[in-house]
Amino acid sequence: MTAPVRTRGSEELIRAEEPVLAHNYHPLPVVVARAEGTWVEDVEGRRYLDMLAGYSALNFGHRHPALIEAAHRQLDRLTLTSRAFHNDRLAEFAERLAALTGMDMVLPMNTGAEAVESGVKVARKWAYDVKGVPADRATIVVAADNFHGRTTTIVSFSTDETARAGFGPFTPGFRIVPYNDLAALEAAVDETTAAVLIEPIQGEAGVIIPDDGYLAGVRELTRRKGCLFVADEIQSGLGRTGSTLAVEHESVVPDVLLLGKALGGGIVPVSAVVGRREVLGVLHPGEHGSTFGGNPLAAAVGTAVVELLETGEFQRRAVELGVVLRDGLAGLVGKGVVGFRSRGLWAGVDVDPALGTGREISERLMREGVLAKDTHGSTIRLAPPLTITAEELEGALGVLEKVLR
Ligand SMILES: Cc1ncc(COP(=O)(O)O)c(C=O)c1O
């Protein structure tokens, strides 16, 4: 088969999307056609350093050879069975993911939002079956400025009005408290509380890192009050912060972990709820499921991802290069950067609003060959593939310095 003749350039492709594609995103005006490692190339052959990595879905870079090989091998053998039957890849995926995270059981799903929805259902079921909360009274306590996805239930407990307006009526049963505030959490948790659901680091909010002791405090409080600690590690997990999980920075073990993004190796959507047997054991046949969750292709890629993480190499890189990122950003404070937060290879950079919005800065970075994305206002999120080299990272920081000058 011959390759299709390319007849349309970037500008024409962007224009072509306008009438036929729902306008639920506002992408940077770059049309990516191929990618390898930390680099992407647009339709015209211009190269860009990827400093976003698919919001951490590409922790191992684009087309990591071990992941591509695992996918190819599986494509040639078996891709989908549904869970009506067993498939020969799922047991190993679940065993190794449970071992990697120190948990007992795995509920495989596809997208991050599905993992969150599934976590909410599991927590409620646990509250009724194990804790003894009266029917339909369970509550889940979440943090303000959270981002857990886009379904109707998830936006029900968002505090982002853009994400909510026009999508009610909302799902009841959630209490919202300020992030990083143990006293507020203490006041909100009562005998109806099934779980506290938080991001160990709030990604969308601008890489907000809680005070030392907060995660350990959440662990102590949830244990003392008899409810679950559910950690959404969909963006923070799988190597990004320098450890397999962000909760490890405080040596905390939650009851339930929500994983996604990088679990699919940037190839297929793979997510999972991972937890203790007493919690995930509440599900019985017919109570929850997904046609695609745990499919053999996803399980093969997910297993290869776990195998990469088992080496510890990517976590180490995130620690070592995280120092380069932090030092580089520290050097830009006062030179267009008003503040930043970073852990491992993940940073939220607050740019002086006088120099432009986050969007404008991202467009300037793009024109200089670096892809990054704003979060809110004048905050830029940096989350390069964990395969990035020190030279590439320093190059990206140099470009940031240049566009802020
Ligand atoms: C912490 C967190 N949870 C959940 C999600 C939702 O994941 P998905 O977009 O795959 O549904 C995201 C996505 O950005 C996230 O950052």
Tens digit of each residue's pLDDT (9 = 90 or more) over 285-298:
999 999 999 999 99
**Residues 23 and 168 occupy one common structural domain:** no
Q: What's the pLDDT score for residue 377?
A: 86
**Residues 124 and 271 occupy one common structural domain:** yes
pLDDT-derived band at 2, boundaries 50, 70, 90:
low
Please, what is the end-to-end C-alpha distance for the chain in angstroms? 49
**Residue 269: which CATH number?**
3.40.640.10
pLDDT-derived band at 49, boundaries 50, 70, 90:
very high
57 within ligand 1 shell (Cβ under 6 A): no
Q: Which of 257, 292, 310 is the last residue of a domain?
A: 310
**Residues 121 and 184 occupy one common structural domain:** yes
**Residues 253 and 108 occupy one common structural domain:** yes
Supply 60's token pair. 């191992």
57 C-alpha to ligand 1 centroid (Å): 10
In this structure, the residue with its CA closest to atom 2 of ligand 1 is 148
Q: What's the pLDDT score for residue 222?
A: 98
pLDDT-derived band at 349, boundaries 50, 70, 90:
very high
Residue 316 has pLDDT above 90, yes or no: yes
CA dist., res. 275 & res. 391, Å (int): 39
Q: Average of pLDDT values for 374-378? A: 89
Of 42, 50, 145, 232, the active-site residue reads: 232
**Residues 299 and 208 occupy one common structural domain:** yes
Query: Is residue 5, in this structure, part of any structural domain at all?
Result: no
**Residues 102 and 156 occupy one common structural domain:** yes
133 C-alpha to ligand 1 centroid (Å): 29
Of 261, 292, 350, 374, the active-site residue reads: 261
232 C-alpha to ligand 1 centroid (Å): 9
Say whether 121 is catalytic: no
**Residues 50 and 110 occupy one common structural domain:** no
**Residues 96 and 216 occupy one common structural domain:** yes
Query: Is residue 98, in this structure, part of any structural domain at all?
Result: yes
Structural domain that includes position 264: 65-310
147 within ligand 1 shell (Cβ under 6 A): yes
Please list, in sequence order, all residues whose beta carbon lies within 8 angstroms of the beta carbon of residue 106, skipping any fewer than 6 positions away: 93, 94, 97, 98, 272, 273, 274, 280
The number of domains in the chain is 2
158 within ligand 1 shell (Cβ under 6 A): no
Residue 6 has pLDDT above 90, yes or no: no
**Residues 194 and 265 occupy one common structural domain:** yes
The answer to whether the predicted template modeling score (pTM) of the entire model surpasses 0.95 is: yes
**Residue 372: which CATH number?**
3.90.1150.10
pLDDT-derived band at 4, boundaries 50, 70, 90:
low
**Residues 280 and 143 occupy one common structural domain:** yes
12 C-alpha to ligand 1 centroid (Å): 30
Supply 122's token pair. 């599991």
Say whether 373 is catalytic: no
Say whether 42 is catalytic: no
Q: Which residues of 253-278 are buried (b: 16+ CB within 10 A; e: fewer)?
A: ebbbbbbbbbbbbbbbbbbbbbbbee
Q: Which of 294, 310, 326 is the last residue of a domain?
A: 310
233 within ligand 1 shell (Cβ under 6 A): no
Residue 1 has pLDDT above 60, yes or no: no
Q: Which of 258, 282, 310 is the last residue of a domain?
A: 310
In this structure, the residue with its CA closest to atom 10 of ligand 1 is 112
pLDDT-derived band at 5, boundaries 50, 70, 90:
low
Query: Is residue 17, in this structure, part of any structural domain at all?
Result: yes
Q: What percent of the chain has pLDDT over 90?
A: 98
149 C-alpha to ligand 1 centroid (Å): 5
Supply 355's token pair. 């120099």
Query: Is residue 208, in this structure, part of any structural domain at all?
Result: yes
Query: Is residue 306, in this structure, part of any structural domain at all?
Result: yes
**Residues 163 and 34 occupy one common structural domain:** no
118 within ligand 1 shell (Cβ under 6 A): no
Q: What is the mean pLDDT of the chain?
A: 97
Q: Model confidence over 146-189: pLDDT tens digits?
A: 999 999 999 999 999 999 999 999 999 999 999 999 999 999 99
373 within ligand 1 shell (Cβ under 6 A): no
Query: Is residue 4, in this structure, part of any structural domain at all?
Result: no
Residue 3 has pLDDT above 90, yes or no: no
272 within ligand 1 shell (Cβ under 6 A): no
**Residues 301 and 323 occupy one common structural domain:** no
* DSSP β-ladder status, 39-42 and 47-50: antiparallel
Query: Is residue 1, in this structure, part of any structural domain at all?
Result: no
Query: Is residue 332, in this structure, part of any structural domain at all?
Result: yes
CA dist., res. 39 & res. 259, Å (int): 25
Q: What's the pLDDT score for residue 78?
A: 98
Angle at Cα 41 formed by Cα 112 and Cα 350, nearest 5°? Answer: 60
